[in-house]
Amino acid sequence: MAFALSPLPAAASGTTSGLTGLVEVKTADVLPPQAVRLSLYYDSAGADFEPAVAFGILPGLEVAVNGSTAEGKLGLGAKIGLLAETARQPGLALGFTWGGADDPSFFGTISKRLSSLWRLHGGVATSRTAVLPFVGVSGLLNPVQAGDGAGLPPITLLIEADPSLQVGTRFNLARGLDATLAIRDLKSLQAGLGYQTSF
């Protein structure tokens, strides 16, 4: 099977598990080989800091190590891209998370561009007692940027349900650097920073 890789969309950064996605919802996007991403989230619900580092190991394969200060433990996640997204077909990826910021889970996820600005994501994940669906939408809010660097950075709207509802924005501050701010169920706040580079 050949893996066709394309550049990660602007909305694609690290989830709380470290794997590529929105905030909690994983997408079908996968880090390219030799890429590394550092991320740190803060979850106000549990006063929890969630650091993670993710690596693009092989074409179509990423792994992540994450942690939770509230739980005091490390976790591991991995995702393999099985189909690359094209104009006609969605991207497809399978993966797992274990410990750290996430409950033990196996998941399958798809991503499909709806227009030049919007993408749809969805899938299912296992838990200890159930199989849970999840869905997410991401869209660039300000596609036209000032040429002289003035004004706002690219801002992406993130909406996800897993099954809790979460709405947020991701700011692409500089090449490889992003910041995320999201509200879950109108009760708690999640804030994150991510930095991606290659070696």
| pLDDT, tens only, 12-52 | 688 999 999 999 999 999 999 999 999 999 999 989 999 99
In a domain, 1, yes or no: no
Q: Are strands 188-198 and 35-43 parallel, antiparallel or unpaired?
A: antiparallel
Does 4 score more than 50 pLDDT? no
In a domain, 27, yes or no: yes
Distance CA 36, CA 99 (A): 21
**Which of 54-68, 111-125, 131-145 shows the lowest per-residue confidence on average (mean pLDDT)?**
131-145
Contact 125, 105 (CB under 8 A): yes
In a domain, 142, yes or no: yes
Number of domains in the chain: 1
In a domain, 4, yes or no: no
Instruction: Return the pLDDT at 2.
Output: 43
| Domain region containing 34 | 13-198
In a domain, 5, yes or no: no
Contact 87, 22 (CB under 8 A): no
Radius of gyration for the chain, computed over Cα atoms and rounded to the nearest angstrom: 16
The mean of the pLDDT values for the chain is 90
In a domain, 165, yes or no: yes
Q: Which distant-in-sequence residues (6+ apart) come within 8 Å of 27 by Cβ?
A: 12, 20, 21, 91, 93, 109, 111, 119, 121, 136
- Burial class for 111, CB neighbours closer than 10 Å (0-12, 13-18, 19+): buried
Q: How confident is the model at residue 157 (pLDDT cuts 50, 70, 90)?
A: very high
In a domain, 132, yes or no: yes
In a domain, 128, yes or no: yes
CATH number at residue 88: 2.40.160.40
Residue 36: how many other CB atoms lie within 10 Å? 15
Contact 23, 168 (CB under 8 A): yes
Residue type, 105: S
Q: How confident is the model at residue 102 (pLDDT cuts 50, 70, 90)?
A: confident
Query: Which candidate, 31, 17, 134, 9, places its Cα nearest to that of 80?
Result: 31
> Rounded to 5 degrees, what angle do the CA atoms 65, 67, 72 make?
140
